[in-house]
Amino acid sequence: MSLVIQMIERALDIQGYPGSEFLGFTNMIAGDFLNLHPSVLKFPFEPKKRSSCSLQLANKTDQFVAFKTLTTNTHKSIFNPNNGIILPRSICNVTVTIEKQNEAPPNMQCEYKFKVLAVMAPNGATKNDITTSMFDKKNNVVEELKLSAVYIPV
């Protein structure tokens, strides 16, 4: 019985965030501020068509967290939203879109790299409060979470 209570307490503590090993999700990137799910972006591949996938950012803290997304090719890949504030113990869904490709890349590997930066934000902060200086590693603790990506045949 105590094992069941411990499991319930643990489930309540993590509030069911995707990526939790307790809930059977191991396909995630765990940071101190955020959990990202999935750990590898999977873009459905169809020649000459844009491709999108979802990324879930889960704030695992009791504080507001600001995030910013980065990619190695800003002309061919887009995050929406590309920055924002995630409330304590909340989730933000992000859509990642890649421009059309004429043919399949070798080994279906995506050449672009993706990164999410996260930093603690003041309570009550909004998207309008996000500044470039918030993500300055010299003055703040900035979490950097890197994602890889692959194409999957449709």
Q: Examine the pLDDT at 88 and tell me if it is beyond 70.
A: yes
Helices H / strands E in the chain, number of each: 1, 10
Give the separation between CA 34 and CA 57, rounded to whole angstroms: 6
pLDDT at 154: 83
Q: Is the pLDDT of residue 130 over 70?
A: yes
The conformational region for residue 83 under phi > 0 = left, psi -120 to 50 = alpha, else beta, is: beta
Indicate the average pLDDT of the chain: 85
In this prediction, residues 124-140 reach a mean pLDDT of 95
- For residue 75 the two structure tokens come to 């002309």
CA distance 22 to 39: 17
pLDDT of residue 21: 41
- pLDDT-above-70 percentage for the chain: 83
- Is the pLDDT score of 18 beyond 80? no
Q: What is the pTM of this model?
A: 0.80
The tokens for 115 are 């990164």
How confident is the model at residue 110, as a pLDDT?
A: 86
Out of 3.30.930.10, 3.40.50.9100, 2.60.40.10, 3.30.450.20, which CATH number does the structure's domain 27-153 have?
2.60.40.10
Query: Which two three-digit tokens encode residue 62?
Result: 């009791």
Amino acid 13: pLDDT: 42
Q: How confident is the model at residue 26 (pLDDT cuts 50, 70, 90)?
A: low
pLDDT at 6 over 50: no
pLDDT at 50 over 60: yes
CB 133 within 8 Å of CB 24: no
- Provide the residue ranges of all domains of the chain, joining segments of one domain with +: 27-153
Give the mean pLDDT of 6-22.
43
b/e 67-106 (16+ beta carbons within 10 angstroms → b): bbbebeeeeebbbeeebbbbeeeebbebebebeebeeeee
pLDDT tier at 97, thresholds 50, 70, 90: very high
